[in-house]
A and B are shown apart, each in its own frame.
Chain A
Amino acid sequence: MTGRKAKEEKIEQLLLENYNRYYRLAFSYVHNADDAGDIVQNGAYKAIRGSGNLKRKEYASTWIYRIMLNEIYSFFQQQKTVSMEAMEEEYGTEPAEMDTYEDFDLRAALETLSVEDKLVVELRYFEDMKLEEIAEILNENLSTVKSRLYRSLKKLRVKLSESEEVV
């Protein structure tokens, strides 16, 4: 009983410390504040309610990230029911808020990465997380995550030079 209580407290503490991290991650996928907020709030609810399922208190941090990632996945699943055309009409074919001109290429290239690859790049470079930790979130081994990162970096560069070539 006390173990479960301790887990719940740990999860709550992490949620309240890190909500902006989850929010930023969600935002980078859904590109809008309301949906990103919903994802974090739903994720927080499920994490607290399911706190009994957490195997060990020490895993709480990656466990929450996984829940958030699942929320992001299911968001896209729901989105699928809205027709692609309707979405493009509303948001345009390009990611929203592309006002800053100088980083247009890289940002657009980032958008072409798969969900997992993008997660690796963002958590590694934007949140300064260790690759080991990211591997745990994705439940992959370290070498897989490393190859995701290298592949993504290569892609980002390739995309960058290709668009330069056009100019």
Chain B
Amino acid sequence: MRVKKLFELEEYVTFHIAKMEKEKLGMRRYSGELQDLKDEYRELHMSGEQIEQLRKQIEKGRRDRKRLGRKNAVTRWSVAAAACVALFILLPNTSAGVANAMSRIPVLGRLVNVVTYRDYSYEDDRHSAQITVPGIIVELPEGEAVDPEIQNTMQKTAEEINAQMREISDRLIAEFEEGLQYKEGYQNMIVDSEIVSRTDDYFTLKLICYQGAGSGAEWDYFYTVDLNTGKQLALSDLFVEGADFITPVSENIKEQMRTRMAEDESRMYWVDSTDMPEWNFEAITEETSFYLNEDGKLVICFNEGDVAPMYMGCVEFEIPWETVEEIWGGCR
């Protein structure tokens, strides 16, 4: 502000008193104006033709959803069919001779299992919690010999992962219980787990957390154990030491985002956005969640809202083998 010359002072004061008066007036007028704007806003409505179009779009959405639904039904049936086939293979295995032969093959996958460590549930009109805290246990199947060192390492890894999962669950339970004090709010909390992948080499447990107050958000933690060493795997452990895996994997994810958006316009990811560049997905980090699927391929996972609008849910990207082939170190 410019320095006021003395003779301007009186004028200055008068001006500002007037300004303050005006502001007061402005605020009073403002609420009236807001009402006018509101009336005008609420007068807007869709034309008959637009409503007709809307109904058509609803119909179209219904048709397309059914088509999608059928595709899912087929997949479910195949899984059921696969389960039947597995049953037939398993049945002959129950004969004593085969079982004995099998037990000599050290199938480490069978070493780890998941049990429920703690069940916490609460339900009233406004609050609901279903918290099932999993625990990884290491158990030696009967008649099977496993390197005791690996078994020990595995035991330690399991305990570490269990401690982390308990800490997360305890924190959420504490938060939930604190929320119970507020009579006004609604809250919903779910903690659950899923074995997302289990091969001869790897085992991945997903801890699923869902917290809602009206609308909610899901976020997950992935714990992958290398069954050959008994150690928990970090993303960088999968690659040759010192190799830059972040760039090729991130670039591939962006490419997949673009393709998915082009194929299906209801899908949206934050990539190449000029409107909200600060939301754009740039790169994964060493801490980004991942697992190795049954095909042994790397899958990168993001929580709700991380790289896409919330309605997209948690999203996953399977990284093609070609992208990481050159720097792949496998398990160490």
Contact = CB atoms under 8 A, between A and B. Distances in A.
B19 A44 contact: no
Interface in B31-50: 33-34, 36-38, 40-42, 44-47, 50
A148 interface: no
A160 B217 CA distance: 39
Given A8-B62, A160-B30, A70 B216 contact: no
A42 interface: yes
A24 B44 contact: yes
A44 B58 contact: yes
B320 interface: no
Contacts of A53: 311, 313
Contacts of B313: 53
Q: How large is the interface on B (under 10, 10 to 19, 20 to 34, 35 or more residues)?
A: 35 or more
A136 B213 contact: yes
A43 B22 CA distance: 44
Nearest to B55: A16
A133 B185 CA distance: 12
Contacts of B46: 19-20, 23, 37, 40
A42 B224 CA distance: 40
A106 B311 contact: no
B266 interface: yes
Given A49-B62, A136-B214, 19 more contacts: A8-B65, A15-B58, A19-B46, A23-B45, A24-B41, A37-B47, A37-B50, A44-B58, A45-B60, A46-B61, A48-B62, A49-B266, A55-B212, A70-B268, A70-B309, A103-B40, A106-B37, A161-B22, A164-B22
Interface of B: 19, 22-23, 26-27, 30, 33-34, 36-38, 40-42, 44-47, 50-51, 53-54, 57-58, 60-62, 64-65, 68-69, 212-217, 266, 268, 273-276, 305, 309-311, 313
Interface of A: 4, 8, 12, 15-16, 19-20, 23-24, 27-28, 33, 37, 40-42, 44-53, 55, 59, 62-63, 66-67, 70, 73-74, 76-77, 80, 100, 102-103, 105-107, 110, 122, 125-126, 132-133, 135-137, 139, 156-157, 160-161, 164-165
